[in-house]
């Protein structure tokens, strides 16, 4: 916290990736301490930040914030690792949010990254040299520090959700946007996804909020190939919208912030990823193996488990693996060396696969905060994986107007995928009971055997080819 800048960015990474590994991967105590840094990092006084305006003679004529805006709040509404955000008002009366990069950050980057490299050379989990992660981190930061790039990403994302009332991307004000300053419309009433009690107090259903957050991010990745690279609790918010015949009800609306980092996946990889999710959900081992190899190369054996621990059902089974999957953890047979090797191989193969996994990990962390279960998340992913394989016009109409606009055979396919998730949930529960080492299989209760046989048979059914 005291060092700020890139150190805060590293802390945000740790605080946001609890999903998928459970407390064993990143202890809850660490997450609870560090999560404050996602939007409440130490901020810098305006006397220091004002140089972002005054030193930019070309764009701002050397004027300070109080000259460029009719009102400017010196106390930021949010402070993060690379920038802080202030409320302001312009001559047209528009309420604005002004994001400013810390003036000294770019000068400090070289020495900070040298320190990270020295630390990385001394810490090698499982004997793996993770120095490549520091290089990747440095390239990512350079992209995020260009606020012109962020503004362009924001407009591209807003275009995807044009006409949608349940997804908000604040509008860019280009007249006061530069490489170091991003000015956007201010969105009031933002509620943190990581504070479920506050959401409930505002009349928002956690299930509805979870479904909206999960669906929005899944739609971006699986339907558009446009993957938000940093969806932690400081960048993805929810606000309450009045709904119903007499506006007495409340519906959640998701607000997408911080568009500095996006991963773009080409259409072939996007479609392969959609097919892989469906194959994993339907436990189709042949397709899982084929598609995983297409996407992840030599690390295809581990790739499905990085998408969800539940996908162990599409691999060889042991009781320990099943029990870990049921509790949303990676199987104990997967070691830290395996995971490190998988990530390094994915990095060396190029492409955006590693960034997609990173984004999915952040999303699981968000959904954990909302008590949105892995079962619910996989149903959401199943829906958008199927939609992602449809013709663009049909898909966009379904997302905009509702799934009822789809042909009946497509709706049945969606229903089938969701049913397969339910079957997987029952299989995990039943199989962990019947395969538990402390239970003698020859003396198992008859009802366990009957249920297990029924569920396994149901899992083999192919309702629609």
Q: Which residues are catalytic, by number?
A: 230
- C-alpha–C-alpha distance, residues 233 and 236, integer Å: 5
Across 51-67, b (16+ Cβ under 10 Å) vs e yields: ebbeebeebbeeeebee
- Residue 355 C-alpha from the chain's centroid: 10
Minimal CA–CA distance to 429: which of 282, 333, 319, 304? 319
Torsion of CA 263, 266, 268, 273, to 10 degrees: 10
184 contacts 170 by C-beta, under 8 angstroms: yes
Beta-bridged to residue 183, according to DSSP, are: 98
Its sign, for the CA torsion 189, 195, 198, 200, is positive
- C-alpha–C-alpha distance, residues 148 and 137, integer Å: 20
250 contacts 243 by C-beta, under 8 angstroms: yes
Q: What is the bridge-based pairing of β-strands 167-168 and 83-89?
A: unpaired
Residue by residue, DSSP assigns 403-452 as: GGGS-HHHHHHHHHHHHHHHHHHHHHHHHHHHT-TTS-GGG--HHHHHHH
Structure tokens at 166: 């349940």
> How many degrees, rounded to 5, is the angle at CA 305 between CA 32 and CA 438?
85
- C-alpha–C-alpha distance, residues 274 and 304, integer Å: 12
Q: Which long-range contacts (CB under 8 A, 24 or more apart) does 195-201 make?
A: 195/369, 196/369, 196/370, 196/371, 199/238, 199/252, 199/370
DSSP 171: P
Minimal CA–CA distance to 238: which of 193, 201, 205, 198? 193
Per residue, the 3-state secondary structure of 199-249, as one string, reads: HHHCCCCHHHHHHHHHHHHHHHHHHHCEEECCCCCCCEEEEEEEECCCCCE
Minimal CA–CA distance to 366: which of 230, 263, 231? 231
305 vs 276, 338, 373, CA distance in Å?
12, 11, 16
């Amino acid at each position: 916290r005291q060092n700020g800048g890139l150190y805060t960015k590293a802390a945000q990474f740790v605080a946001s990736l609890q999903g998928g590994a459970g407390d064993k991967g990143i202890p809850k105590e660490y997450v609870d301490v560090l999560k404050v840094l996602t939007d409440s990092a130490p901020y810098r006084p305006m006397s220091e930040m004002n140089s972002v305006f005054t030193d930019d003679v070309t764009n701002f004529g050397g004027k300070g914030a109080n000259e460029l805006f009719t009102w400017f709040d010196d106390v930021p509404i949010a402070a993060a690792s690379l920038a802080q955000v202030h409320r302001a008002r312009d001559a047209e009366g528009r309420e604005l949010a002004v994001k400013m990069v810390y003036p000294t950050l770019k000068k400090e980057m070289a020495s900070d990254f040298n320190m990270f490299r020295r630390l990385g050379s001394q810490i090698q989990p499982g004997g793996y040299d993770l120095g490549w992660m520091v290089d990747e981190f440095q390239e990512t930061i350079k992209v995020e520090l260009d606020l012109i790039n962020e503004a362009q990403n924001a407009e591209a994302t807003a275009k995807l959700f044009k006409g949608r009332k349940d997804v908000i991307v604040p509008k860019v004000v280009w007249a006061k946007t530069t490489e170091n300053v991003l000015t956007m419309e201010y969105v009031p009433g933002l509620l943190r996804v990581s504070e479920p009690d506050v959401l409930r107090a505002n009349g928002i259903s956690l299930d509805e909020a979870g479904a909206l957050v999960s669906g929005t991010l899944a739609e971006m990745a699986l339907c558009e190939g446009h993957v938000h690279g940093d969806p932690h609790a400081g960048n993805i918010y929810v606000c309450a919208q009045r709904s119903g015949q007499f506006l007495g009800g409340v519906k959640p609306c998701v607000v997408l912030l911080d568009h500095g980092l996006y991963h773009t996946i080409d259409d072939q990889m996007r479609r392969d990823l959609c097919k892989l999710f469906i194959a994993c959900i339907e436990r189709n081992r042949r397709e899982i193996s084929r598609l995983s190899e297409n996407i992840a190369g030599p690390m295809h054996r581990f790739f499905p488990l990085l998408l969800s621990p539940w996908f162990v059902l599409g691999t060889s089974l042991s009781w320990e693996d099943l029990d870990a999957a049921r509790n949303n953890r990676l199987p104990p047979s997967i070691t830290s060396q395996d995971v490190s090797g998988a990530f390094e191989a994915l990095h060396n193969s190029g492409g955006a696969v590693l960034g997609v996994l990173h984004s999915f990990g952040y999303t699981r962390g968000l959904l954990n905060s909302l008590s949105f279960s892995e079962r619910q998340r996989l149903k959401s992913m199943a829906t958008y994986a199927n939609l992602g394989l449809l013709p663009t016009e049909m898909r966009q109409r379904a997302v905009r107007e509702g799934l009822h606009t789809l042909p009946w055979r497509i709706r049945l396919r969606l229903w089938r995928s969701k049913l397969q998730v339910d079957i997987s949930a029952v299989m995990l529960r039943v199989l962990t009971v019947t395969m538990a080492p402390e239970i003698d299989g020859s003396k198992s209760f008859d009802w366990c055997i009957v249920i297990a046989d029924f569920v396994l048979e149901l899992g083999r059914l192919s309702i629609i080819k």
